[in-house]
Amino acid sequence: MIDPQKITDLLVSLVRTPSHPGIAAQEAAVVRELDAFLDAQAIERTIVEIKDGRPNFLAEVDSRRPGPHLLFCGHTDTVPPNAGSDVDFFAASEKAGVLYGRGTADMKGALAAMAGALARLQKSGELRAGKVTFAAVIDEEMESLGAEALIRSGFRADAAVVGEPTANEVAIGHKGLEWLSVELEGRAAHGGTPESGVNAISAAAEFICLVEEELVPSFEKRRDPLLGLPVINVGAIAGGDQPSTVAARCVIKLDRRWVTTESIEQVFGDLEEILEKVRKSRPGLKTRVSRLPGGMATMIHGPLTIDPQHPVVKAAQRASASAGLPSDRLTVFPAWTDGALLSSEAKIPTIVWGPGELRYAHSPEERIRLADVLLAAELYTRAALFFTGSE
């Protein structure tokens, strides 16, 4: 058995190690912490540089006997500290069994739990069939460079657990994600003679109204039986130069969550149909829809679903039951994860399952209960044993 304090100490070290954008070799120091922890357990490890000194980290416990291969996967990057906050995001302060700091929930808590589970499997010798791999990948908060590199390397497994904060409930799906830019180009003119120009801001306003009045109601026809309704959010808008000039340009930034009853072609096609109406009403207007830079590398950020009867789901439920937790409830994760890439691109059936609460992620109040991290380590261990047929 691994001393629970060692898992807690690892988490504290991970939180005290910044790994957000703007840091050179952004996730490398986190990998060093994970590597040192698992090296002490004599676990086989591999470090692979992906970009600019930013490495993926893989560790493996192999029974050397035939059996299923289970992947534990998590990301080592975090979002930056919240601007304007006076919180010390890297102090990793603890109060009444709760650890505070950037990455505690999203998702260094799960990284520590997964590493702890691997250490227990190695030390106890309980893994009597198959093997378990732990992959800690870079860049999930941006382009998922780490997950894409792992997939392109040819890595495959029979199932995967992605450790995002689900409060240790088993999530069997989430919506797809596109960050999109809608650019509208009009024609500048004097504000006193607006009829001489084409106002891109006015065109943007018409576009947004049509999205809300026509597109959003149409989503009901595409309701997904598991994931629910598609979602579109107008997150940012910018345009124009100054009050007395007709705006020649306006850019809208959208968040589009899509479901299995849709296609990526529909996601773009919906917007193009609306823009065609706007262009017809405003001769001379030009428009363009594109992905936002930094939103993804190359692979499509589609939705994730898994059959509730899949062995990895059943193993997770059985692990929950054995720990005295409700095991019949399956949930849907509200955010996007690398699990969708593992599922769609590598064809690895994947669940999302980890300690922490999503409501605290990315916020100045980010936190995690240490008992939940230790529970996750126990759940991951038991699920691995059940999935591989070792128990």
User: Could you report the per-residue pLDDT of 43-76, keeping only the tens digit for each?
Assistant: 999 999 999 999 999 999 999 999 999 999 999 9
- For the chain, what is the domain count? 2
What pLDDT score was predicted for residue 328?
87
**Nearest alpha carbon to residue 132 among 60, 40, 84:** 60
CATH code for position 213: 3.30.70.360
Are 28 and 164 part of one and the same domain? yes
Distance CA 338, CA 102 (A): 20
What pLDDT score was predicted for residue 190?
97
Would you give the DSSP letter of residue 358?
G
Residue 41: pLDDT over 80: yes
pLDDT, mean of residues 291-313: 92
Residue 319: pLDDT over 90: yes
- Residue 166 binned pLDDT confidence (cut-offs 50, 70, 90): very high
Encode pLDDT of 67-126 as tens digits: 999 999 999 999 999 999 999 999 999 999 999 999 999 999 999 999 999 999 999 999
- Residue 297 binned pLDDT confidence (cut-offs 50, 70, 90): confident
% of the chain exceeding 70 in pLDDT = 100
Q: Is residue 334 part of a domain?
A: yes
Query: Three-state SS across 187-230?
Result: ECCECCCHHHCECHHHHHHHHHHHHHHHHHHHHHHHCECCCECC
Distance CA 148, CA 192 (A): 53
Is the bond into 107 cis (omega within 30 degrees of 0)? yes
pLDDT, mean of residues 313-333: 95
Q: Is residue 298 part of a domain?
A: no
Are 11 and 159 part of one and the same domain? yes
Are 52 and 132 part of one and the same domain? yes
Encode pLDDT of 324-380 as tens digits: 998 888 999 999 999 999 999 999 999 999 999 999 999 999 999 999 999 999 999
CATH code for position 344: 3.40.630.10
pLDDT, mean of residues 32-42: 97
What pLDDT score was predicted for residue 343?
98
What pLDDT score was predicted for residue 294?
80
Q: Is residue 220 part of a domain?
A: yes
Are 263 and 323 part of one and the same domain? no
Are 16 and 133 part of one and the same domain? yes
Residue 1: pLDDT over 90: no
Are 270 and 346 part of one and the same domain? no
Encode pLDDT of 222-278 as tens digits: 999 999 999 999 999 999 999 999 999 999 999 999 999 999 999 999 999 999 999
Are 10 and 87 part of one and the same domain? yes
Looking at every residue in the chain, the average pLDDT score rounds to 97
Q: Is residue 297 part of a domain?
A: no
pTM above 0.85, yes or no: yes
What pLDDT score was predicted for residue 270?
98
Residue 391: pLDDT over 90: no
Domain that holds residue 82: 4-174+303-388
Q: Is residue 296 part of a domain?
A: no
User: Quick one: which H or E segment has residue 388?
Assistant: helix 370-388
Encode pLDDT of 179-200 as tens digits: 999 999 999 999 999 999 999 9
Count of helix runs (H) and strand runs (E) in the chain? 10, 17
List Cβ neighbours of 145 (8 Å cut-off, separation of 6 or more): 50, 51, 54, 138, 139, 297
Are 12 and 148 part of one and the same domain? yes
